[in-house]
Amino acid sequence: MTDRSRSPYRSGRRGPGKGGGQPGRPAPAPGTAVRRVAYDVLRAVQERDAYANLLLPAKLKDRGLDGRDAALATELTYGTLRRQGTYDAILDACVDRSLSSVDAEVLPLLRLGAHQLLSTKIPPHAAVSATVNVARRAVGQHRARFANAVLRKVGARDLEAWTGIVAPDRTADPAGHLAVVHSHPRWVVEALAAALGDDLAGGLAETESLLAAHNERPGVTLLAKPGRASVADLVEGGAQAARYSPHAAYLAEGDPALVREVRQRRAAVQDEASQMVALALARVRAKGADARWLDACAGPGGKSALLAGLAGQRDARLLSAEVQPARAGLVASAVERSVRDAARVVVADSTRPAWRDGAFDRVLADVPCTGLGALRRRPEARWRRTPETAGELAPLQTALLERALDAARPGGVVAYVTCSPHLPETSGIVEPVLAARADAELLRAADHLPEVDGVAAGRDGMYAQFWPHRHGTDAMFLALIRKRG
């Protein structure tokens, strides 16, 4: 964290605050307004762990930015977050003292300027001048001069030249090299390499492909809620039928909210891998009754929306449980008007369930996790965790899987799902739980995903693991477990 008290760049005179100007000053030019939105989001992410995907749309609306301006603000925000680690290594070489001594208010400006200079087609003089204009309004003239000086040093070389200088040698330190070049913490690079089974001695070639995929702008995938919309409806509106899910379509461009079916809540944005893990649970052959389904960690409701439609088509019923009331409200909205009104939503803690054991035929436990599988969409997540904090969720993940198994009847099936490929959150949870129980057996998950190549993972290929660089999806993990009886 930045130690403001030691910063050599602090001015005794404070600049204007977040408001973007002082009385008597002219309104900012459009280019400055766009960069001010990006800066405000970057600063909020850094200082209070705000979520860019939630804050940015609100900022754009508040500042009245749309069209090209909104698109540029979005690119500047997400591009800077994705490449933050690379830019920090370069900035550290351009600051006379340690980068950790730079004010917390200034650092997002330097990263924002570096992104424009090194990864966009914005002319260098425009990138520097517009960013310095934001600095004058946001942090004052003194620190704006400092930002100007640093960014001029950054602009003296291109990205390839800079990474050749600041990145460790690939042969001597492949993980360290990839961490700088592809902007991930070293521990994340090593964790992803372990999940892929990629060998350090081989230079981590597949790991590099994955890291590169994390830094690409992801496409938008839509879910046509079963019984309420069809893929044909979405294709008619300009989308393209998806590769794997029979309920998915890709939106090449434009705002999903402008799609008729999305406006009518008959379709929603949902990653294709998220759809496929829910479909896999629904595809397992039921032994006996198939009338009662449970989504034990339902918020914000994407998988519940799919399961509710499938359940309704089979005359089954879905109970969607969510511990946080606000998220339970999102689930209720997602499943509203499902086929046969199949879903019910409850505010409940699934580690201390209100339902009796053995009550359900199918159970989905999509547990809270580090989110390392969704780094394309939430690039800031890579900077929020450390090796120490990454394991903090393990007791909760274990408890949720154990209670999910308790909730399933003999012959029923449980899907354990994470949006993370990190081994301590995937097989590291499943295997100890199953080893301690005689009433559960692992099913081969890939057998229920026949349309997806290269998804089998883990010991004997019993798990399913999606990957951005292989499948164009988030890195969703799935274990399917049958309750013995």
Q: How many CB atoms lie within 10 A of CB 26?
A: 6
Residue position matching structure tokens 């001695």:
201
CB 361 within 8 A of CB 290: yes
Per-residue tokens: 343: 């879903």
Alpha-carbon span 299 to 377, nearest angstrom: 18
pLDDT at 200: 79
- Give residue 197's region: left, alpha or beta (phi > 0; psi -120 to 50): left
pLDDT at 287: 86
Name the catalytic one among 94, 297, 369, 419. Answer: 419
pLDDT at 253: 85
**Strands 220-224 and 240-241, bridge-based pairing:** unpaired
pLDDT at 22: 38
Q: How many CB atoms lie within 10 A of CB 138?
A: 26
pLDDT at 23: 39
pLDDT at 201: 78
Residue from 282, 245, 139 nearest 472 by CA: 245
Alpha-carbon span 252 to 237, nearest angstrom: 11
List, in order, residues 6 or more apart from 282 with CB less than 8 Å away: 307, 310, 362
Q: If DSSP codes are grouped into helix, strand and coil, which group holds residue 187?
A: helix
- In the predicted model, residues of the chain with pLDDT beneath 50 are 1-28
Kindly compute the dihedral angle of the four CA atoms of residues 244, 247, 253, 259, in this order, to the nearest 10 degrees.
Answer: 180
Establish whether 94 is a catalytic residue: no
Per-residue tokens: 254: 């434009």
| pTM score of the predicted model | 0.91
List, in order, residues 6 or more apart from 117 with CB less than 8 Å away: 124, 127, 128, 151, 154, 155
pLDDT at 138: 96
